Amino acid sequence: MDTKTKRDVGDEAEELVVEHYEREGWVVRDRNVLSRRGEVDIVAEKGHLLAFVEVRMRATDVWGDPSMTVGPGKQRKVVLAALQYLQRQRLMNRAIQFDVASVVGRGRAGRVEIIPDAFEAGF
């Protein structure tokens, strides 16, 4: 019997994404950054570029790719949280992008796909 909570499964998916970014030469600055307006799952840095990453996971792709669930409302929340993060960390002069990470499968068998620069900060 699988006793993992939804949060446990989400944490496993995020860990797979972190490992993927690190293999690609990124440094993960922060995880699960909360603000009054939203949350950023992962903040990664490569050179002068910061990536704000939204992680989406599904056990299978029978209902489609998880990345398709990041609609305009979620994008807005991620952007607002990212802007607050930039202000708090005094990083307003950095180049940024908003990535979506899709994880299909559970645990170590999960398949990670990254959509770099998946959406823009404009509303």
- Position 1 scores a pLDDT of 45
Which tens digits make up the pLDDT trace of 26-65?
999 999 999 888 899 999 999 999 999 999 988 887 777 8
Determine the Cα–Cα distance for residues 114 and 34; give it in Å rounded to an integer.
Answer: 22
Question: Which amino acid, one-letter code, is at 56?
Answer: R
| Structure confidence by residue, pLDDT tens digits, 74-86 | 999 999 999 999 9
Query: What are the domain boundaries of the chain?
Result: 6-119
Q: Mean pLDDT across the chain, nearest whole number?
A: 90
116: enclosing H helix or E strand = strand 111-119
Q: Which helix (H) or strand (E) holds 72?
A: helix 72-88
Residues in the chain: 123
Is a pLDDT exceeding 60 seen at residue 2? Answer: no
3.40.1350.10, 3.40.50.10700, 3.60.150.10, 3.30.380.10: CATH of 6-119: 3.40.1350.10
18: helix, strand or coil:
helix
